[in-house]
Amino acid sequence: MRKIIRVAAAVAVLTMVAAMTVACGGKEPEEKEPTATPVSEATNTPTAETTPTTEATPTAEATPTEIPATPTEVPATPTTEPTEAPTPTPEETGEAEYEATYLGVKDYGEPETKKENIEQFLYRFSVGGSEKTFSVDNSAKDADGNPLYPIQNKLKEGYNYRITVKDDVVVDVTESGEAAAAYESVVKGTPGEKTLLNFIKTSLMPVGTTLYVYGGGWDWQDEGSAIQARTLGVSEDWVKFFNEQDENYTFRDKDDNVELRDPKTSYYPFGAYNEYYYAGLDCSGFVGWTIYNTVETQSGRDGYVCSSTRMAGKLADRGWGDFSQELMSPSENGDQPNMISATGEMPCLKPGDVVSIKGHVWISLGTCEDGSILIVHSTNGHMSRTGQPGGGVAIGAIGLSEGCEAYKLADAYMSKYYKEWYRRYPARLCNPETYLKIEGEVAGRFTWDTSSGNGLSDEEHVQDMSPAEVLKLCFGD
In the predicted structure, residue 221 carries a pLDDT above the cut 80: yes
Note the pLDDT of residue 137: 96
Q: Is residue 75 part of a domain?
A: no
For the chain, the first-to-last Cα distance in angstroms comes to 120
DSSP letter at 151? T
CB atoms within 10 A of CB 233: 17
Average pLDDT of the segment spanning 427-445: 96
| Number of domains present in the structure of the chain | 2
Q: Are residues 367 and 439 in the same domain?
A: yes
DSSP conformation class of 297: S
User: How far, CA to CA in Å, does 410 sit from each of 180, 375, 420?
Assistant: 30, 9, 15
DSSP character at residue 407: H
Whether residues 150 and 287 fall in one domain:
no
Verify that 311 and 414 share a domain, yes or no. yes
pLDDT of residue 82: 54
pLDDT digits (tens, 9 = 90+) for 150-186: 999 999 999 999 999 999 999 999 999 877 778 899 9
Do 171 and 231 belong together in one domain?
no
**Which tens digit of pLDDT belongs to each residue from 356-367?**
999 999 999 999
More confident: 393 or 262: 393
Angle at which helix 467-475 crosses helix 196-203, to 10 degrees, equals 80
* Residue predicted with more confidence, 51 or 470: 470
Supply the pLDDT for residue 341: 74
Q: Higher model confidence: residue 331 or residue 166?
A: 166
Q: Is residue 78 part of a domain?
A: no
Residue 204 sits in which domain range?
196-475
**Whole-number Å distance between alpha carbons of 143 and 18:** 81
10 vs 104 pLDDT, higher one: 104
Note whether residue 290 is domain-resident.
yes
Give the chain's largest Cα–Cα span. 147
Indicate the average pLDDT of the chain: 84
Can you give the pLDDT at residue 264? Answer: 85
Contact of 309 with 257, CB cutoff 8 Å? no
| Residue 294 belongs to some domain of the structure | yes
Residues 440, 324 within the same domain: yes
114 and 219 fall within a common domain: no
> Is the domain of 431 the same as that of 286?
yes
34 in any annotated domain: no
Per-residue pLDDT tens digits for 29-71: 333 333 333 333 333 333 333 333 333 434 333 333 343 444 4
> Where residue 132 falls among pLDDT bands split at 50, 70, 90?
very high
Q: Are residues 159 and 233 in the same domain?
A: no
Same structural domain for residues 342 and 228?
yes
Would you state the pLDDT for residue 27? 30
pLDDT band at 407 (very low <50, low <70, confident <90, very high): very high
Q: What is the pLDDT of residue 179?
A: 75
pLDDT at position 25: 36
Last residue of a domain, one of 143, 175, 207: 175
CATH of the domain at 119: 2.40.50
> Whole-angstrom Cα distance, residue 267 to residue 269?
7
- The CA distance from 201 to 435, in Å, is 22
Report pLDDT for 87: 57
> For residues 138 and 118, what is the distance between their CA atoms, to the nearest angstrom?
9
pLDDT tier at 384, thresholds 50, 70, 90: very high
Query: Which among 70, 269, 62 has a CA at the least distance from the CA of 152?
Result: 269
Higher pLDDT among residues 147 and 75, named by residue: 147
CB atoms within 10 A of CB 386: 12
Pair (164, 210) in one structural domain:
no
- Out of 55-64, 100-109, 200-209, pick the least confident: 55-64
CA distance 396 to 411: 8
Q: In this structure, is residue 299 part of a structural domain?
A: yes
Q: How confident is the model at residue 24 (pLDDT cuts 50, 70, 90)?
A: very low
Residue 292 has phi, psi (to 5 degrees) of -60, -45
Q: What's the pLDDT score for residue 301? A: 97
Q: Are 209 and 242 in contact (CB under 8 A)?
A: yes
For residue range 248-260, what is the model confidence (pLDDT) as tens digits?
Answer: 999 999 999 999 9
Q: Is residue 378 domain-shared with residue 428, that is, in the same domain?
A: yes
Residue 365 near residue 376 (C-beta atoms within 8 A):
yes
Looking at per-residue pLDDT, the higher value among 86 and 266 belongs to: 266
Strands across the sheet containing 354-357: 321-324, 444-448, 354-357, 360-367, 373-378, 393-398, 429-430
Q: How far apart are CA 129 and CA 158, in angstroms?
A: 13
Q: Are residues 153 and 214 in the same domain?
A: no
- Helical axes 283-295 vs 196-203, angle rounded to 10°: 140
So what's the pLDDT on residue 90?
Answer: 56
Mean pLDDT confidence for 227-244: 97
